[in-house]
Structure 1
Amino acid sequence: MAWSYRKRIRIIPGVHLNISRRGISTTIGVKGASLNFGPRGTYLNTGIPGSGLYNRQRISPARSTTPQHIPQDVAVLEPASRGNIFSVAPDEVTSNDMQGIKDTIIAAHQQKKELTLDLEKVKMALASSRLKLTLSYIFLIGWIVKKVSQQLKDAIAAQQNAIHQISEQLENSSMTMDVEFDEGMKGKFDALSEAFKRLSAADKVWDVTSAVSQNRVAARSAASTLIERRQVSIGIRNIPDISAAIAPLWLKNANGADLYFYPAFLIMYDSRDQFGIIGYDELDFDYGPIRFVEDGPVPRDTQVIDRTWAKVNRDGSRDKRFKDNYQIPIVKYGRIKLRTRNGMHEEYDFSNYEATELFSNAFLNYVKALKS
């Protein structure tokens, strides 16, 4: 009737990020594999500690990131299913030099999954032992045969101890990420974080999921582009299985994996089994203002820059053939575009253009400093 539990767990290696003007050095675990990002591209450094043997391999070329301005008038498109602005599955976008970090996160998730199942089994065994002990006293077995009740008590104590141990192991089954900045880069990342906080306070944030051209003359409209957009949330939010000293900047994705900006990379995260990691050297980040024909309520933090009509002539004047033709404000929103060669394609609109510009410049300055 004795009960025992023994569980071997792996120590999940931590990730240490050293961020300076010379680039990013990423060390996984204790064996010293590191990634360096710089103006000449991304390199993987591997070696055997203490041996004096090291290898340096070029992974990808350096990339440039520049803002893009979008001058055309835009209006709302009727909702479609998924839209034509979306990314491929997140597990297809991982940068080659980020696979080690991804494998570490997967190992943490798998161990946590196994431990969760073990915890449920031990809890069930504990409930069974307690029931048997109660029944033994009801039927006087526990009073008469002291050995039976003692064995059940020993099993209960062992199961309670196992639950405590598994619970501790669950708390430690995550990838620990710590970040070390040099003084200059710390200031730039702090500026980026503050700019994101202001951006997250925007009255409206939309994920743009579709964009199609429109014949303005045929539609009698001032807008040359129609978009489908869905309001989303953004903020500071952690990912399961990652214990990070600095919580990532989070953007909800309406038709795909959410975006999490860490100091050294971007994670597209759909679930614990579906995610990808993108180095900033592979990310194309564009931003700019858009003129939006807003047929709905104008957000509180949005600037009205012009007026048009629901139905217009070729020259933009009011089409008087429509009796109930009404005036519509044209507002200035901010747009951010994110792309990679591996298939990431996301666009977001923000009601506060000034906050969009502030965040975008802070992000570009931060990434530029990593490559300088």
Structure 2
Amino acid sequence: MGFYTRTSLRAGPFRFTMSPSGMGVSVGVPGFRVGTGPRGNYVHMGRGGIYYQSTIGKPAPHSPPRPRPYIPPSSSVVMEDVTGASVQELVAGNRSDLVNQIQVAARRRPLWPFALGALLVLGLILGRWGLLLILVGVPAIVWLAMRDRARRSVVVMYDVNDDMARRFDDLVQAVGALQQVGGFWLITASGAVQTPYQYKVNAGASTLHRRRAAAASMNGPRILVTNVAIPTLTSGERSVHFLPDRVLLREGKHYADIPYQQLELSAEAVRVIEEGALPRDGEIVDRTWQYVNVKGGPDRRFKDNRQLPVMRYGRLTLYNHHGLHMIWDASQFRAVHATARALTNAASAQPPIIPS
């Protein structure tokens, strides 16, 4: 409510008023008008340049300009593949007779599923005689399946004794310890944290890793039949098999092998910030926050800023100058260290490579 001076323009029964707040329109008789303006509906009374005005109802809400959203520096860390050369690339440079036999056997298609399908179809067509045909044909299907298994297998018999046998047994025991760890993974990608914002939203980590679950076992590739246990590390389509005389690599249906003397490795203890479930045997060595400030403490500007454990894991890296590069993390450093030592001893027991 107030008294003020304004300018007006008349157009028939309507009057348009101009003010610093905007333009309004009113209608009425001299001394009394009803109108609407930038401040809402009003009743207007008065003459001679002095007016009295009362607003009716709630004025229209004024929407302040919406501020531009704050776009923080990029929080996306560039991840690079760290799985090294593919098995196809590795086998191109060094293809052994064993790998040739395995690849030939792997390309052979089993025949028994087609024979079983044909037998069932004929059994349905022949009605009551079809049951007799199926009973007679089942032993033939079993024989064909066994024949397919033999055709798709490569048999390798090892005669390992003395010092070489002891060293290989140490490798079997070491990989057996990896079977018992609570967490085992293959690192597939890695990226360095570069900006302060990336550091802040990634719990203060200096490097990010992408990983997938892995497993250790004593089962070699199904296509290879041997008389010894084959220590194996597997993750998805990739696996590494430690034979007594060589390292066999698999990626899907493709295989390659390298001598132990060409295998290089490293084992180290690493600190990993865990966001998911903790392995049952993991060792917590520190704690951090999901969002940290520059001093490493919790950033109070983020809600639900939870604490995260920092774990001590073991990291086994296998590589060579041909492009092999595989990084395995385990929740127990001792198991990783024992595996690395056993692999080093196994390589030293192999006869030297004589270039041709």
| Residue 313 to residue 171, structure 1, CA distance change in 2 (3 Å) | closer
Pick from 241, 245, 249: which aligns with 1:264?
A: 245
Which among 89, 93, 104 is matched to residue 101 of structure 2?
104
Q: Any stretches of 5+ residues in structure 1 without a counterpart?
A: 1-76, 136-152
Contact 1:236 1:248 in 2 (8 A): yes
Structure number with the bigger relative contact order (C-alpha 8 A, sep ≥ 6) is 1
1:201 aligned onto 2:196? no
SS where residue 94 of structure 1 aligns?
helix
**Distance apart, 1:184 and its partner CA:** 1.0
CA RMSD of aligned residues (A): 3.7
Which of 209, 212, 234 aligns to 1:227? It is 209
Once the two structures are overlaid, the 10-residue window that deviates more, 95-104 or 361-370, is 95-104
Shift of residue 271, structure 1, vs aligned partner: 3.5
Tell me, what secondary structure is at the counterpart of 1:199? helix
Shift in Å, 1:352 = 1.0
Match of residue 366 from structure 1: 346
Q: Which residue of 1 aligns with 2:226?
A: 244
- The one-letter amino acid of 1:343's match is G
How far 1:96 moved relative to its partner? 5.3
Matched residue type, 1:222? G
**CA drift at 1:299:** 2.0
Pair 1:224–1:238, CA change in 2 (3 A)? same
1:182/1:79 CA distance change after superposition, 3 Å:
farther
Change (3 A) 1:224 1:163: closer
Q: SS in structure 2 opposite 1:172?
A: helix
Does the 8 Å contact 2:260/2:350 carry over to 1? no
Q: Give the TM-score normalised by structure 1.
A: 0.61
Q: What secondary structure, in the 3-state scheme, does the structure 2 residue paired with 1:197 have?
A: helix
Amino acid at match of 1:293: I
Q: Do the aligned partners of 1:79 and 1:228 also contact (CA within 8 Å) in 2?
A: no
- Relative to total residues, which structure has the larger helix share, 1 or 2? 1
| C-alpha distance 126-184 of structure 1, shift in aligned 2 (>3 A) | same
Partner of 1:230: helix, strand, or coil?
strand
User: 1:189 maps to which residue?
Assistant: 168
| Distance of 1:297 and 1:128 partners within structure 2 | 53
> What is the alpha-carbon distance in structure 1 between the residues aligned to residue 77 and residue 184 of structure 2?
17
> 1:284-307: per-residue Cα shift (whole Å, max 9, x none)?
222211111223333221222223
Which residue in the other structure is 2:29 paired with?
A: none
Quote the Cα distance in structure 1 between the aligned partners of 2:278 and 2:138: 58
- Which has the higher Rg, Structure 1 or Structure 2? 2
Tell me the equivalent position of 2:35. Answer: none
Q: Which residue of 2 aligns with 1:44?
A: none
Q: 2:82 pairs with 81, 85, 88, which one?
A: 85
What TM-score comes out, normalization by structure 2 length? 0.64
Structure 2 distance, partners of 1:315, 1:326, is 17
Q: 1:134 to 1:210 in 2, by over 3 A?
A: closer
Match of 1:248, as an amino acid?
Answer: I
Measure, in 1, the Cα distance between the counterparts of 2:126 and 2:308: 75
- TM-superposed deviation, 1:100: 1.0
Q: Would you say the 8 A contact 1:216–1:223 is kept in 2? A: no
Which of 141, 159, 165 does residue 180 from structure 1 map onto? 159
Q: Does 1:281 align with 2:275?
A: no
Whether 1:94 aligns to 2:91 is yes
Kept after mapping to 1: 8 A contact 2:184/2:328: yes
How far is 1:134 from its partner? 7.2
CA 316–130 in structure 1, closer or farther in 2 if over 3 Å, else same: closer
Q: Would you say the 8 A contact 1:233–1:252 is kept in 2?
A: yes
| C-alpha separation in 2, matches of 1:222 and 1:216 | 11
State how far apart, in whole Å, the 1-side matches of 2:225 and 2:76 are. 41
The separation in 1 between residues aligned to 2:166 and 2:176, in whole angstroms, is 15
Aligned residues between the structures: 272
